[in-house]
Amino acid sequence: MRETPLHFRTITEIAEEIATKQLSPVDVTAAMLQRIDQLDGQLKSYATVTADQAMAAAQTAEREINAGMYRGPLHGVPIAVKDLCFTKGVRTMGGVEVLAGHVPAFDSTVITKLAAAGAVLLGKLNLTEGAMGGYNRNFDIPKNPWNPDRWTGSSSSGSGVATAAGLCIGSLGSDTGGSIRFPSAGCGVVGIKPTWGRVSRYGVLALAESMDHVGPMTRCVADAGIILAAIAGFDPNDPTSLPNPVPNMLEGIGQDLQGVRIGFDEHYATNDIDPELADAVRAGVAVLADQGAEIVEVALPDVDEYVSAWPTLCTTEAVVAHAATYPSLRDAYGPWFQGWLDMGAKVSGTEYAKANNLRAACTGHLRRVFSEIDVLVCPSMSAPPHVVTEEVLYGAYEPRDPKFQRFTVPFNYNGAPTLSVPCGMNSEGLPLSIQFVGKHLTEPLLCRVGHAYESATPWHDLHPDV
């Protein structure tokens, strides 16, 4: 069997060799920076590459490890973060032209925690404007490494591309309506949207604060758990962060699924979606049963009615998030996000209240469903990555069919944790993705389920030929 190239290896693999001094953080970081230099001119995943800082951090990590001060599995490992996360002295733009010169004077909490874990920051990753659906013409559109004409999954697109293409060993994304799950699915990687509040949002540019989540994107489930453990925890600077202790995210990983009740609503998960994806999800359920899980038939309501309320909530909260620059600098926004903000500015208090009531109703239905199960299984999105053009992505806002976010928005509404894992390739050679949804604060169980699935399937070992 051919050895996995360094750039496609996992945090788990690299960390073991760094800890035993078989691998140098300086050498790993230099190799990653060289690969970025060679390939990212085409893939366009990075907004800013922090090469000098990365090499300095790698040298510090190497000195510490050689002195016996090993911090843990992220020590000396090169990662990258979505360009929403404030990074002291490094521009943080959020894909927004009006923030092109924004250089924070402090680090976001997630950056502080990654540094405390000894991670090496390679740079900041491109995203859609304001972390929504379209791009500003002054910013690059990341290219899907499986097929450059296909969608990269919206907001955390740079994170998905860089992780899939081996331009970082792991990354951070954010998710308000699917933006960890969509790029994870579209680029064939693993993504965790944690429980809302599990990870501090202090110093992270907002889209819609009541639904924003920050989480890891990696090439295997264990790696996602490692990053999540590093960035999770209460933060006094973010009063919405949860005071619950951070558990061992990998507790029970490697065990079978005996005693785990996994809910499956075949109608919800397979009706009116891509047939090859539906078949892959059904096959995934069979794998879980083979691993010892009890498959429980559940019935979800038609969630599309509830999903249709999401634009009202998100646009309104986006106007609040951009109050410093919208509407005063409205013309500096690209047409897609400008239209999004314009729509939010017209929402009345009554309309927002009605939308919020639909959100609450959806959350209530899900609470009932989860009273019978531990984990729900469904797709991460309704189809493989679709064809896109720069004209569309730089163009004006167009409403989406609610089914587009059928498998994402309900879990932004209720803040439940989700895990997306590759589950196949379609006939066009594009990745497919299965999603596991848990109860609040059950990320270790999700990692156990995801790892059991991953261990029985080959999909996470496939990489794009770039």
82 is catalytic: yes
Of the candidates 351, 378, 448, 394, which has an alpha carbon nearest to the alpha carbon of residue 178? 378
Torsion sign, CA atoms 262, 174, 161, 118: negative
Among the options 44, 82, 113, 193, which is catalytic?
82
Burial class of 465 by CB neighbour count within 10 A (0 to 12, 13 to 18, 19+): exposed
Among the options 157, 179, 382, 433, which is catalytic?
179
Of the candidates 282, 261, 248, 306, which has an alpha carbon nearest to the alpha carbon of residue 437? 261
Among the options 155, 171, 184, 200, which is catalytic?
155
How many residues would you count in the chain?
Answer: 466
How many Å apart are CA 433 and CA 419, to the nearest integer?
Answer: 10
* Cis preceding linkage at 327, omega within 30: yes
- CA distance to 16, 225, 277, 284, per residue, from 221 (Å): 16, 6, 20, 15
Question: Token digits for 118?
Answer: 């000894």
| C-alpha neighbours within 13 Å on the C-beta side of residue 18 | 34
- Asked if 113 and 204 count as a contact pair (C-beta separation under 8 A), the reply is no
How many Å apart are CA 379 and CA 434, to the nearest integer?
Answer: 4
Question: Token digits for 174?
Answer: 């954010």
79: left (phi over 0), alpha (psi -120 to 50) or beta: beta
Alpha helix positions (H), 22-142: 25-43, 51-66, 109-116
Q: What residues contact residue 302 under an 8 Å CB cut-off, 6+ apart?
A: none
Per DSSP, the residues of 371-390 read: TS-SEEEEESSSSSPPB--H
Question: Token digits for 366?
Answer: 């899900």
Per DSSP, the residues of 162-213 read: HHHTTSSS-EEEEESSSTTHHHHHHHT-EEEEPPTTSB--TTB--S-TTT-E
Question: Token digits for 354?
Answer: 């009605």
328 is catalytic: no
> Could you say which DSSP state residue 461 is in?
G
Tracing tokens 């990354």 back to the chain, one arrives at 171
Of the candidates 217, 211, 201, which has an alpha carbon nearest to the alpha carbon of residue 177? 211
How many Å apart are CA 148 and CA 127, to the nearest integer?
Answer: 16
Q: What residues contact residue 89 under an 8 Å CB cut-off, 6+ apart?
A: 103, 104
Indicate which residues carry an active-site annotation: 82, 155, 179
